Amino acid sequence: FFSHVSSMEEQDKPNAPDVEAPAPERSEADEKPQQSEKAPLVSSKAKKEDDVPLDIRLAWWLASASVVVGSFLAYKVHIGFPASSSRMSRAYIAATLVSWALSISTVVVAVATNGKLPVPMKKKSNAIYAAYGFLLVPILLSGEVPLATISKGVAWLGCTAIMAAGAIGVISTLTKDTAALYGYVVFWFLSLVGFGTVVYYLDSYANNTHVNMWKPRLTSTWEKTVAYAPELICSVESSYECSGFSSTCLFWPKVADRLPNKVQRPQCAPCKQRSAKRCQSAIQKSLLSREGSLLTQAGVVGVAMFSLMASGVFTLFSIMRRKVTQSQDPGMEKALKDAEPIVQELLACRLAMTQLTNEVNAGRAPHQEAFTKVILKLDAIDVTSLEDGPIKERIRMARKQNIEYMEDLSQRALALRDGDGTLTEADEPGAPAEENAAVATDSPAAENAEPGYAEPKDEDDAAEPQEDTTGAGAPESAAQDTPSEQNPAEPQ
pLDDT, position 97: 93
Interacting residues of 231 by C-beta distance below 8 A, sequence separation 6+: 82, 83, 84, 85
In which band, very low, low, confident or very high, does the pLDDT at 182 lie, cut at 50, 70 and 90? very high
| Burial of residue 280, with CB atoms counted within 10 A of its CB: 0-12 exposed, 13-18 middle, 19 or more buried | buried
Q: Per residue in 340-384, pLDDT tens?
A: 888 888 888 888 898 889 888 888 888 888 888 888 888 888 888
How many angstroms separate the CA atoms of 313 and 307, rounded? Answer: 10
Buried b (16+ CB within 10 A) or exposed e, 215-242: beebbeebbbbbebbbbbbbbbbeebeb
pLDDT, position 99: 94
SS3 395: helix
SS3 147: coil
Asked if the model's pLDDT at residue 126 lies above 60, the reply is yes
pLDDT, position 6: 47
Q: Per-residue pLDDT averaged across 73-77, rounded?
A: 92
Asked if the model's pLDDT at residue 207 lies above 60, the reply is yes
pLDDT, position 151: 83
In which band, very low, low, confident or very high, does the pLDDT at 434 lie, cut at 50, 70 and 90? very low
Provide the residue type at 99 as one letter. S
Interacting residues of 233 by C-beta distance below 8 A, sequence separation 6+: 222, 225, 226, 269, 271
Tell me the angle at which helices 125-141 and 90-112 cross, rounded to the nearest 10 degrees.
Answer: 150
The residue among 116, 113, 127 whose CA lies nearest residue 168 is: 127
In which band, very low, low, confident or very high, does the pLDDT at 328 lie, cut at 50, 70 and 90? low
How many angstroms separate the CA atoms of 221 and 225, rounded? Answer: 6
Contact 459, 475 (CB under 8 A): yes
In which band, very low, low, confident or very high, does the pLDDT at 22 lie, cut at 50, 70 and 90? very low
In which band, very low, low, confident or very high, does the pLDDT at 253 lie, cut at 50, 70 and 90? low
Asked if the model's pLDDT at residue 336 lies above 80, the reply is no
Contact 274, 299 (CB under 8 A): no
Specify the DSSP class assigned to residue 421.
Answer: S
Contact 452, 437 (CB under 8 A): no
Q: Per residue in 373-417, pLDDT tens?
A: 888 888 888 888 887 777 888 888 888 898 999 888 888 888 888
Q: Per-residue pLDDT averaged across 51-71, rounded?
A: 89
Contact 440, 446 (CB under 8 A): yes
Asked if the model's pLDDT at residue 10 lies above 70, the reply is no
Q: Report the range out of 17-21, 34-38, 290-294, 458-462 with the highest average pLDDT.
A: 290-294
Q: Per-residue pLDDT averaged across 159-167, rounded?
A: 93
Q: Per residue in 439-479, pLDDT tens?
A: 333 434 444 444 444 444 444 444 444 444 444 343 443 33
The sign of the CA dihedral 58, 61, 67, 68 is: negative
Q: What residue ranges define each of the domains in the chain, with the CATH number in brackets? A: 54-115+128-208 (no CATH), 210-289 (no CATH), 329-418 (1.20.58)
Mean pLDDT rounded to a whole number for the chain: 75
Q: How far apart are the first and last CA of the chain?
A: 43
Contact 126, 175 (CB under 8 A): no
Of 9-18, 84-93, 265-274, the one with minimum mean pLDDT is 9-18
Alpha helix stretches (DSSP H) within 53-124: 54-80, 90-112, 119-123
pLDDT, position 192: 94
Q: Per-residue pLDDT averaged across 319-334, rounded?
A: 70
Q: Report the range out of 101-105, 483-487, 488-492 with the highest average pLDDT.
A: 101-105
Interacting residues of 132 by C-beta distance below 8 A, sequence separation 6+: 99, 102, 164, 167, 168
Which residues is 458 bridged to in the sheet? 19
Which residues is 19 bridged to in the sheet? 458
pLDDT, position 265: 67
Q: Per-residue pLDDT averaged across 33-40, rounded?
A: 42
In which band, very low, low, confident or very high, does the pLDDT at 332 lie, cut at 50, 70 and 90? low
Provide the residue type at 202 as one letter. L
Q: Per-residue pLDDT averaged across 171-184, rounded?
A: 91
The sign of the CA dihedral 27, 29, 32, 37 is: negative
The sign of the CA dihedral 140, 146, 151, 157 is: positive
